[in-house]
Structure 1
Amino acid sequence: MHKTLSQVIPQPKGNRYSAALACVVGGLLLLSGNAYATSAHGPYAQNDFGVVGLLQTPTARMNAHGEFSINYSDTNEYRRSAVSLQVFPWLTATARYTDIRNRLYSEDPNFSGDQTLKDKAFDGKLLLWQESRYIPQIALGLQDVGGTGIFAAEYFVANKRWDLDSFGFNNWGGIDVSLGIGWGYLGQRDNITNPFCEIADRMCDRERGFSGRGGKFEIDKWFRGPAALFGGIQYHTPIQGLSVIAEYEGNNYRYDNAGVPIVPDSPWNFGVHYALNPNVSMKLGYERGNTFTFGFTFNFNFNELHQLKIEPEKRQARAESEQARPTDWSQVNYAQIANDLIEEAGWSVGCIANELNDGGSDCDQRAIQVVEQPQGAVVEIAAQQARFRDTDDAVDRAARILSDSLPRDGVAEYRITEYQGNLGLATHVIQVPAFETAYRGERFFADEQDAIRTTSAQPMQERPNLLEPHWNKNRFGWAIQPDLEQSFGNAEAFYMYQLSLKAVGWYVFDDSLMAVGEMGINLINNYDKFNYLIDGSDTPLPRVRTRVREYAENQDVWVNSLYLYNTHHLSKNVYAAAYAGYLERMFGGVGAELLHQAPNSRWAYGFDINYVKQRDPYRDFGFDDYEAFTGHASVYWRPTWLENTTLIARAGRFLAKDDGVHLELQHEFDSGIIAGAFAAFTNVSSEDFGEGSFTKGFYLSIPFDLFMLRRTKSRGTIAWMPIMRDGGQLLGRPQLYR
């Protein structure tokens, strides 16, 4: 992913792969609490494909919003590992690897040895209708889309649940019945006429295999060919977390690609699912009338994760007689206000002065001022937010501190202008009389947030009454943290990794110009398993990313980035940046960005242009011959109908000089975890692109304060691109958008 502005200003910085996945999973499990994520009956059972379902078949059930699941299943010929996320209450996304143990990754032992074939797949399930008293829950699903299509299927499925108490069987539990119709892998049994075949003859046939190099969304195959009914019953027993499963599946395994014949003795499967606790469950099954299966699932909910903090609580109002509130501006202790703001609310304000204080100040720059206006005194504060991800909470805390520390009479507003370096991000305006009324409980049903609004920040050059503050008393800073780079599905080994230490440092020349660098030190890796450094794919595209193995294998100490970064606040809501140097592990160069972003707007617009050269993987500070101009026009949109979600579209030229669009979706959960997915579509054909047909991937951005006792804005990212190719690749660079 790309560096944002908050990642290049002097503060602890999250790396691309910030910790081992196992450590993250373990930590999230500990944070996930003791409440069941879905219902009183515990987590929903997941089928062998890692989707909420029975054994081989899916159901219409959806986990709670934010539920994240890691699933493993073993069905003899197939071992499947999957992750599933309830992105929205109505959408489940699943990514899966299937280990086909009777097929080899390649017929060439010099290429992949005896590694078995690993098939990648993506699933999606969409809620069409929520269950009501008389109507079942209905869902539409797509299985194995955008991959090789070995297990590709489409389906509609409905579920209805009955508690047995309503039938007079008290304390007997309940049953959940599912019934669906499937096509493709779920429809091979062909026990019902394809209803779409009655509409158009072309829907009666379905071509097997996949087109091109795989990875396409083969829409022209959806809902075509044979169809089959499937379904089952899940009996939720009175024993907490225990359920019994019986299902009828629509696949007859006639066309499976397992490497050996699969001959079912029965279309019926039976199993038992047991949730040991809210986060761990297991299942046992007897499938096809001849095969024992097993699996387990880890669950936790991204909305419910939290970490107790050891730091000051939000202030509560005290009676006027219980506090030593100043009655005159000469009594104000500005140094104490600055200390309270950073300790309790994360606001760093630098030097402080008061125009109304005849005693003056020996500070060269003023970060807090009291300015007389016709409507009353306005307290102007310039500050950087150092620790709080929730800006509303930080502003509310600051307003309480100011209310306790400043005179009340004659004050109209507190104005906190939030900065990053020299960029004014927003001005938070607190209407003092209304805030005091709510904070001190002087009127029923009054709320502090009703007295707070956010508006655009003016550039410093347009604010002569408030001189430009300087934030960086210590110009140099650094941090060291572990870093894990990993990839899945490689030819030589399924899992490849490198554990290293990343040292990041910065030097601040002034609030607009800084130098940023990052160095990596290898600790351990399994890159010695590489059989080749450049793959043998025949592609006309420049090798902008597929040389990644050369960078990984040849350096135990390397310079990941080293560049100058300059920012400017041109006018209200308009920001600019320029940068030059080694921007990322593979490319260096110069570039600039222009961004329009208003604090209350759901839209932002930007443009960037860059000239880059490819870095020499064998020399830290050398360059190869390849060079390119790359840049994009970008639109950022936060739609009202998708809460806490940002849609990003970029159009322009990519690193391999291919032209097209990059589409991205980011959704933030209550815990601060951000789940994202992206895809790039360019003028490169799927044949020229190579395996996968187009660039796509997923990532999780995890706030570090989920693991800390003090708040921090730092983040780490775990990303997954199923196949690294050269088309549709963005430059890794600092970004202004926040």
Structure 2
Amino acid sequence: MTQSYPRARLVRPARFALSALALSLSSALHAQEAPPPTSNEWGGVGLLQTPTARMADDGDLSFTASYNAPYARYNLTMQPFPWLETSFRYINVNNLLYGRSVAGDQHYKDKSIDFKLRLWEESRLLPEVAFGVRDLGGTGFFSSEYIVANKNFGPIDASLGLATGYIGNRGDFSNPLGTLDDRFKNRRPVANSEISQAGKFGLSNMFKGPVGIFGGITYQTPMDELLLKIEYDGNDYRREPRNNNLRQRTPINVGLVYLPNPNVELTAAWERGDAAMFSLTLRGNPGNAPAAPKPFDPPPQRLLPRAVVATRMIASSDESSSTPPATALDWAAISAELQSNAGFRVERISRRGDELYVDGYQTRYLHAAKGLGRATRILANATGNDYDWFTLRTARVGMPIADLSINREAFAGYLDGTVGEDVLRRSTELQPADARARETLYKPKRSPFGGGFNIGYRQNLGGPDGFILYQVAANYSGSLLLRDNIWLTGTVSADIINNYHKFKYNAPSRLPRVRTDIRQYLTTSDVMLPNLQANIAGRLAPDLYGIAYAGYLEWMYAGVGGELLYRPSGERWAVGANLNRVQQRDYDQHWGLRDYRITTGHATIYYAFDARERIIGSLSVGQYLAGDKGATLDLARVFDNGVTMGAYATKTNVSARDFGEGSFDKGIYFSIPLDGFLPRSTRGRAAFNWNPLIRDGGAMLGRKYGLYGMTGDRDERFFYDNMRTIDD
């Protein structure tokens, strides 16, 4: 039903908005640049309450916290592609409780997922157009579908959209799809009793109900740091979730956005005619951010001419002995320099004809090309005219992964500018490690022990017992190498700070409690042994790898298992399978076991979609820890600098009723190389995984080692996409 408003209620805010706009326009006609895209209070790019068709830059990541009584919203928004925006949100409803029978005085929390797809970009005549869905897979309390268009007019960016559901709750006109089917005329409200079934995609309600109009403008004021937003809200707030209806004096919202720098947005607005809204957005673009300067890295060696190196070697050989140059070299010193300057830990140095091989693995540099360039300088300066090719053979726990080879002359020509990058690429090879015989020149002794300290962190967000439950622990992880491919590994964890004692609500479960006993595992003991296992790995064929393991495999399960992976070199695809027989561990994570046993395992196909924006996907099919059977789909965008943004979903043969709240398992994650931020090169990463609910369905075993990740150095595209780092 269309809602009318008394003239007196509309005149004052409308007059204020128009006067402010006229004043700004009259004083700043010179400011003709379009305003930048900024976040609305729901996290995505938009005005205040409503979305626009605009998108953030590809690779953008932002966090928005907003407050507009009674809602406090916490939004994480990712832009994994230029045409796709995704938002993930917790809403704290400050005037509603979960219910004293569940969580005492804890305010009600709602979780939701949004996405927005750009249908086409703006042209001289046509506007930019996007389609989006709000609250997909949540409770559906705020669910909405919309289409919106934007057109730029100098300093003004104007938007106009149509929405069904929450964004268009005013219902300005009946749904035109109702002429095709009467079911589109009305939208079924979400009842409170349906919360336990939250997490469904809610397809039965999509595009249904009356259509509301929304839109507005963003104006770039004469101050570069200040934007003005005026919006016509499509919601009348008379059908708020759980009958929490709000008064709206006017549908016109007005706000100012202050941008002190490109990474911070501060918004203040007056909405509904009687409510203030404040929001803070922190924004960055890790997907396309250049690496930070590395003042604490050692400088690469200067590549010396062949003649200079040859003269030095002859002089050194005459002074020392008459032994051949290849064996007279100080390989121990060369190995130490490869470790300290090129980040390559040497396990063997050998030769075959005019090619020198160095077996080992990269410990410091994120990009293999950077390590290869530094290693080539060191080896060329040490060996002179002895070798035309240098090969770094990457090995993991005794498994040869890949040979990375480079021609010395081509590399020297690239450094002095006589050879272009295209010639260097043709003179560089990434191939599977071959098994041809080589003459060993040097094999260092190494300690069988390794280990170090780190800080562990675990959290759960938005539960009825507290908005954030967390544990911070001090961990020591160590390993004992029995042979190159046989080793023991383990972790001891000591609790530092932990508020999981607040976690008192045990959600009902119709499945074996394979994950929902998390509170007991995190509060029973202060010192834990989350992992202790024996492993053996090997390359069974040129493209086939295997690993077997036994012990305390993760914090909740002990057992035995193994994995096989077939990963053809140079191909976009790989296939693998794992099989495990496990038993649930005691809550204290010491030595004892509980009665629950299960066989779990999955067959997985991996595929790298070799498009301009690289996507890596995997589909795993098998049996999960609760005995349910199904599949997990994982899709991730991988940027050239290694930043990864992804999402996953698991659907099994467990019904939504048996699964419980959430209906099926799902989540999002991103992983950012620390190399982009630190003043010293590192291969470390900061990872964030957001799983809205911990349930027992669709739960996988947390295996410590995965062969697809261990064989990542076979990824040709990641190497060649970062070829420019070879001269760093």
TM-score by length of 1: 0.85
Q: Is 678-687 or 695-704 further displaced after alignment?
A: 695-704
Q: C-alpha displacement at 1:562, in angstroms? A: 0.4
Q: Secondary structure at the match of 1:635?
A: strand
Q: C-alpha displacement at 1:94, in angstroms? A: 0.6
C-alpha spacing 1:554/1:470, structure 2 compared with 1 (3 Å): farther
> What is aligned with 1:561?
531
Aligned-partner residue type, residue 304 of structure 1: A
Aligned equivalent of 2:183, options 187, 198, 202: 202
> What is aligned with 1:348?
345
> What is aligned with 2:291?
306
> What is aligned with 2:221?
237
1:263 counterpart = 2:247: yes
> What is aligned with 1:393?
370
Aligned-partner residue type, residue 217 of structure 2: I
C-alpha spacing 1:735/1:467, structure 2 compared with 1 (3 Å): farther
Aligned-partner residue type, residue 653 of structure 1: Q
C-alpha spacing 1:651/1:42, structure 2 compared with 1 (3 Å): same
Q: Secondary structure at the match of 1:729?
A: coil
Q: Secondary structure at the match of 2:426?
A: helix
Q: C-alpha displacement at 1:716, in angstroms? A: 4.0
Q: C-alpha displacement at 1:656, in angstroms? A: 0.5
Aligned-partner residue type, residue 156 of structure 1: I
1:48 counterpart = 2:38: no
RMSD: 2.4
Distance 2:500 2:75 in 1: 25
> What is aligned with 1:379?
356
Q: Secondary structure at the match of 2:167?
A: coil
Q: Is 722-731 or 610-619 further displaced after alignment?
A: 610-619
C-alpha spacing 1:564/1:469, structure 2 compared with 1 (3 Å): farther
> What is aligned with 1:489?
462
Q: C-alpha displacement at 1:72, in angstroms? A: 1.1
Once the two structures are superposed, residues 2-42 of structure 1 have per-residue CA deviations (whole angstroms, 9 ceiling, x without a partner) of xxxxxxxxxxxxxxxxxxxxxxxxxxxxxxxxxxxxx9878
Aligned equivalent of 1:160, options 151, 163, 173: 151
Q: Is 205-214 or 558-567 further displaced after alignment?
A: 205-214
Distance 1:600 1:181 in 2: 47
Aligned equivalent of 2:273, options 289, 311, 316: 289
Q: C-alpha displacement at 1:179, in angstroms? A: 0.8
Distance 1:442 1:327 in 2: 26
- List gaps (5 residues or longer) in structure 2: 1-31, 315-323, 710-728
C-alpha spacing 1:488/1:114, structure 2 compared with 1 (3 Å): same
C-alpha spacing 1:471/1:103, structure 2 compared with 1 (3 Å): farther
Q: C-alpha displacement at 1:598, in angstroms? A: 3.2
Higher RCO structure (Cα 8 Å, ≥6 apart): 1
- Please tell me whether the aligned partners of residues 247 and 270 of structure 1 are also in contact (alpha carbons under 8 angstroms): yes
Q: C-alpha displacement at 1:685, in angstroms? A: 0.2
- Please tell me whether the aligned partners of residues 521 and 589 of structure 2 are also in contact (alpha carbons under 8 angstroms): no
Once the two structures are superposed, residues 183-212 of structure 1 have per-residue CA deviations (whole angstroms, 9 ceiling, x without a partner) of 111121121342333443332222221766
Superposed, 1:128-527 pairs within 5 Å as 128-163=119-154, 174-209=155-190, 213-257=197-241, 260-302=244-286, 303-304=288-289, 306-309=291-294, 310-315=296-301, 317-318=303-304, 330=325, 332-350=329-347, 367-372=348-353, 377-408=354-385, 411-443=387-419, 447-458=423-434, 462-465=435-438, 473-527=446-500
Aligned equivalent of 2:73, options 68, 80, 99: 80
Distance 1:598 1:635 in 2: 13
Once the two structures are superposed, residues 632-651 of structure 1 have per-residue CA deviations (whole angstroms, 9 ceiling, x without a partner) of 00111110126343111100
- Percent of aligned positions that are identical: 36
Aligned-partner residue type, residue 201 of structure 1: D
Distance 1:515 1:444 in 2: 47
Distance 2:127 2:59 in 1: 23
Distance 2:567 2:402 in 1: 10
> What is aligned with 1:123?
114
Q: Secondary structure at the match of 1:45?
A: coil
Aligned-partner residue type, residue 195 of structure 1: P
Distance 1:530 1:368 in 2: 55
1:703 counterpart = 2:679: no
Q: Secondary structure at the match of 2:689?
A: strand
Q: C-alpha displacement at 1:232, in angstroms? A: 0.4
C-alpha spacing 1:472/1:178, structure 2 compared with 1 (3 Å): farther
- Please tell me whether the aligned partners of residues 317 and 440 of structure 1 are also in contact (alpha carbons under 8 angstroms): no
Aligned equivalent of 1:688, options 658, 665, 685: 658
Q: C-alpha displacement at 1:258, in angstroms? A: 6.0
Q: Secondary structure at the match of 1:349?
A: strand
Aligned-partner residue type, residue 204 of structure 1: K
Aligned equivalent of 2:52, options 59, 75, 81: 59
Distance 1:468 1:599 in 2: 28
Aligned-partner residue type, residue 81 of structure 1: Y
- Please tell me whether the aligned partners of residues 234 and 246 of structure 1 are also in contact (alpha carbons under 8 angstroms): yes
- Please tell me whether the aligned partners of residues 109 and 464 of structure 2 are also in contact (alpha carbons under 8 angstroms): no
Q: Is 480-489 or 52-61 further displaced after alignment?
A: 480-489
- Please tell me whether the aligned partners of residues 391 and 405 of structure 2 are also in contact (alpha carbons under 8 angstroms): yes
Distance 2:554 2:201 in 1: 32
Once the two structures are superposed, residues 651-679 of structure 1 have per-residue CA deviations (whole angstroms, 9 ceiling, x without a partner) of 00000110000111233334433223211
Q: C-alpha displacement at 1:326, in angstroms? A: 5.8
Q: C-alpha displacement at 1:619, in angstroms? A: 5.7
Q: Is 483-492 or 117-126 further displaced after alignment?
A: 483-492
Aligned-partner residue type, residue 580 of structure 2: N
Distance 1:510 1:563 in 2: 15
Q: C-alpha displacement at 1:240, in angstroms? A: 1.3
- List gaps (5 residues or longer) in structure 1: 1-38, 164-173, 351-366
Distance 1:253 1:634 in 2: 47
Distance 2:231 2:252 in 1: 6
C-alpha spacing 1:225/1:42, structure 2 compared with 1 (3 Å): closer
Distance 1:609 1:150 in 2: 41
> What is aligned with 1:605?
575
Aligned-partner residue type, residue 518 of structure 1: T
Q: Is 391-400 or 174-183 further displaced after alignment?
A: 391-400
Q: C-alpha displacement at 1:424, in angstroms? A: 0.8
C-alpha spacing 1:199/1:49, structure 2 compared with 1 (3 Å): same
